[in-house]
Amino acid sequence: MHITFACPACAATVAMRGVESATALECSACRARLPIPADALVAGPDGEPRLQRCLVCPSTELFLRKDFPQRLGVGIVVAGLAASCVTWAWRELLMTFAILFGTALIDVVLYFCVPDCLTCYRCGARYSGDGSETFGPFDLETHEKHRQQLARLQEQASRKPAAHA
């Protein structure tokens, strides 16, 4: 399993492979170590370890999404639209439809080829190579809950120094 996360100590983006055989996550920038909780990975029916919760923060809520750079997907659509505008201006009707159809086809093919990855609602850590069926797709309500929790924590943190002054 492969993880990409933001180090809680120095905020550097850390990528690490073979998480299932490690006992701790280590930041490559500041060497901070995050011990992997014993209950975080549980072996599934096929013996492969399955993620039960986030390894970086205490959250047990993660969502499944395509491990696909969103910018690339948008880029393909924009390029297809731009190209079709050019052919449209040239009155190349067939070419215009071929480009639009091709663009849609590339997106569909990529969607099915790209593997799923798990993302933590709370800290944004991403896990790929986990065959987990424990977690569902993105849920706006859960996302909103975590966003509000984070906002509250930040507000508390910003109030604290004022109370001491």
DSSP SS3 for 25: strand
Strand partners, 66: 116
Extended beta strands in the chain, E state: 2-6, 13-17, 24-26, 33-35, 41-43, 49-51, 62-66, 116-120, 126-128
Q: Can you spell out the DSSP letters for 56-82? A: SSS---EEEEE---HHHHHHHHHHHHH
- Using CB under 5 A as the binding rule, whether residue 32 contacts Zn ion is answered as yes
- Residue (13 or 111) nearer to Zn ion, CB: 13
Length of the chain: 165
Smallest distance, Zn ion to C-beta of residue 84, A: 41
Tell me which of 1, 51, 122, 135 binds Zn ion, using CB under 5 A: 122
- Using CB under 5 A as the binding rule, whether residue 24 contacts Zn ion is answered as no
- Using CB under 5 A as the binding rule, whether residue 125 contacts Zn ion is answered as yes
Tell me which of 51, 54, 99, 118 binds Zn ion, using CB under 5 A: 54
Tell me the per-residue interface mask from 79 to 118 with Zn ion, x by CB under 5 A, - otherwise: ----------------------------------------
- Residue (9 or 74) nearer to Zn ion, CB: 9
- Using CB under 5 A as the binding rule, whether residue 123 contacts Zn ion is answered as yes
Helices 70-89 & 93-113, crossing angle to 10 degrees?
170
Binding site for Zn ion (CB under 5 A): 7, 9-10, 12, 27, 29-30, 32, 54, 56-57, 59, 120, 122-123, 125
